[in-house]
Amino acid sequence: MKYISTRGQAPELTFEEAMLTGLARDGGLYLPAEIPVMSQDEIAALAGLPYEEIAFRVMWPYVSGSFAEEEFKAIIARAYEGFGHDARAPLKQLNENHFLLELFHGPTLAFKDFAMQLIGQLFQVALKRRGDRVTIVGATSGDTGSAAIEAFRGLDAVDVFILFPHGRVSEVQRRQMTTPADSNVHALAVDGDFDDCQAALKDMFNDFDFRDGVKLAGVNSINFARVLAQIVYYFSAAVSLGAPHRKVSFTVPTGNFGDIFAGYLAKRMGLPIDRLVVATNQNDILHRCLSGEGYFKGETIPSISPSMDIQVSSNFERALYYAYGEDGSAVAQLMDELKNGGFNVSQGAMEALRESFDSGRMSEDETLETIKHTLAHSAELVCPHTAIGVKVGEDHRAADTPMITLATAHPAKFPAAVEKASGEHPPLPSRMSDLYERSERVTRIANELGTLEDHIRRHIAE
């Protein structure tokens, strides 16, 4: 499989090259040159298989050529062995046909572990084979950073630097990033918000001297390998509810559009998904856009669902690429307009987006109310991100189609909001109950490209 850029001006790469690079050199995002399709029989045969076997069958067409079959199977096995649930992504029933897909049984209690644990193993195998090393820099609103640190800590071919917005992540998220003692792990608290961190990261990738000098690699959700790992649980969940013989819909608490874009690819691969519902908090650029108001940046307002506090949703570029009929130059032009505040989506592209996507937005009060309601009516304590999905999903649920809402984080990752809403304190799973006693290691740093690049250059291992 070859990989192409959404902006059409970067060289085609193999899966391994696209994974190690992250962002394309024309500023675009990598996508497979063709989306592989699974037959209805192949999808039906997934029912009842272990998660790892489903993962292999769904991802293999994307990676073959870069990894050997047995090698890739072993990578998948190592990626998910540290999860606290044998099903990896279990389904729970909320009411007659609304289900929660629990994606928080990995080492850092959020869905990002699914992709990051896989990427850690993929990088290790690929870099070992090449005798090479890389510097991974990631920007996080909280969960990506902890998942990346957990996936790459202690690997000798990799240094990891994580930029997070100072004071804007939960204490559990911060501690998961600042307490690992491994010397290849560097947590940077940036004076700014998540969009500032993400912009600084993009600028580093576009500074080719720096990029080549430190062998920069990205593991943000712009990395296609992340999206790929997330396609798998759409299949595992849908087949356990009767796909391909029955359609299902998904609601996804959305920030950077990576998770829901994986659902779009699952649909294009042949999985009978009826609707893909984007659920946002008050930072609602995606909901406004899908409601026909254009894609215009606002100001990021901190919320109780901080992992969705963003205004520029980087993976949306991938959806736009398909909505604009795979026209890279049209996408490049939109992204230029975005630098000046935003753009209107053409009528044809809006129609294409609406074929797959719906959207909804929740206020802070509605989010708290949903946490309380879900505990009272379904006996489930949900995190604030998941609560947004649950309410938006309920609003979009059709009687004859099961709705599956992605439970993106464990409630104990956001204890303050959960306790405020429900009166219950969500305990951490016992395997990480000493998190509050471990000592922290973090550098506070200005939101300034030169300062950040200097710091990284001085702290990578020789």
Ligand X SMILES: *Cc1c(COP(=O)(O)O)cnc(C)c1O
Whether the CB-CB separation of 265 and 35 falls below 8 Å is answered with: yes
Residue numbers 294-333 binding ligand X by CB under 6 A: 307-308
- The SS3 call for residue 423 is coil
Q: Would residue 68 be called left, alpha or beta, if left means φ above 0 and alpha means ψ between -120 and 50 degrees?
A: beta
What is the Cα–Cα distance from 251 to 392, expressed in whole angstroms?
Answer: 7
Task: For ligand X, give the closer residue by CB, 146 or 184.
Answer: 146
Q: Is residue 251 involved in binding ligand X (CB under 6 A)?
A: no
Closest approach, Cβ 101 to ligand X, in A, equals 12
- The answer to whether residue 259 forms part of the interface with ligand X (CB under 6 A) is yes
Q: Is 110 in the site for ligand X (CB under 6 A)?
A: yes
Cα distance between residue 308 and residue 296, in whole Å: 17
Closest to 408 measured CA to CA, from 380, 427, 382, 386: 386
**Is 124 or 223 the residue whose CB approaches ligand X more closely?**
223
Query: Residue 310 CB, nearest distance to ligand X (Å)?
Result: 7
Is residue 408 near ligand X by the rule CB under 6 A?
yes
Q: Which two tokens stand for residue 20?
A: 């190690």
Collapsed DSSP state (helix, strand, coil) of residue 11: coil
Exactly one of 72, 257, 316, 324 binds ligand X (CB under 6 A); that residue is 257
**Residue 313 identity (one-letter amino acid):** S
* Stretch of 8-16, 68-76, 256-264, 353-361 lying at the interface with ligand X (CB under 6 A): 256-264
Q: Which is nearer to ligand X, 66 or 283 (CB)?
A: 283
Q: What is the footprint of ligand X within residues 336-395 (CB under 6 A)?
A: 385
279 near ligand X, judged by CB under 6 A: no
Q: Least Å distance between CB 254 and ligand X?
A: 4
Nearest approach in angstroms of CB 244 to ligand X is 25
Interaction between residue 28 and ligand X (CB under 6 A): no
CB of 39 to ligand X, least distance (A): 28
Tell me whether residue 258 or residue 415 sits nearer to ligand X (CB atom): 258
Task: Kindly tell me which of 108 and 121 has the beta carbon lying closer to ligand X.
Answer: 108
According to the binding rule CB under 6 A, does residue 287 interact with ligand X?
no
Question: Of the listed pieces 72-80, 255-263, 318-326, 434-442, which binds ligand X according to CB under 6 A?
Answer: 255-263
Q: How far is the CB of 129 from ligand X (least distance, A)?
A: 29
In the complex, least distance from residue 311 CB atom to ligand X, rounded to whole angstroms? 12
Q: Which two tokens stand for residue 160?
A: 């990891």
When asked if residue 112 is in the footprint of ligand X (CB under 6 A), the reply is yes
Q: Using CB under 6 A as the criterion, what x/- string covers residues 210-239 for binding ligand X?
A: -----------x------------------
Question: Where in the sequence numbering do the catalytic residues fall?
Answer: 112
Binding flag, residue 253, ligand X (CB under 6 A): yes
CA-CA distance, 294 to 290, in Å (whole number)? 8
- Sign, Cα dihedral of 215, 226, 8, 27: negative
User: How does DSSP classify residue 248?
Assistant: E
Q: Is the peptide bond before 244 cis (omega within 30 degrees of 0)?
A: yes
- Choose the binding region for ligand X from 15-23, 254-262, 373-381, 421-429 (rule: CB under 6 A): 254-262
Least Å distance between CB 142 and ligand X?
7
255 is a site residue for ligand X (CB under 6 A): yes
- Residues from 137 through 176 that contact ligand X (CB under 6 A): 143
Q: What sign for the dihedral angle of Cα 216, 221, 222, 227?
A: positive
* Cross-strand pairs, 414: none
How far is the C-alpha of 261 from the C-alpha of 227, rounded, in Å? 7
Is residue 250 a contact residue for ligand X (CB under 6 A)?
Answer: no
Distance (Å, rounded) from C-alpha 220 to C-alpha 217? 9
Gyration radius of the chain over CA positions: 20
Q: Which residues pair with 161 in a beta bridge?
A: 137, 186
Q: Of 164-172, 212-220, 248-256, 327-335, which segment contacts ligand X by CB under 6 A?
A: 248-256
The DSSP line for 127-159 is HHHHT--EEEEEE-SSHHHHHHHHHHTT-TTEE
Considering beta carbons, is residue 30 or 210 the nearer one to ligand X?
30
Handedness of CA 347, 353, 358, 362 (dihedral sign): negative
- CA dihedral over 282, 286, 288, 290, signed as positive or negative: negative
CA 267 to chain centre: 17
Binding site for ligand X (CB under 6 A): 110, 112, 143, 221, 253-259, 307-308, 385, 408-409
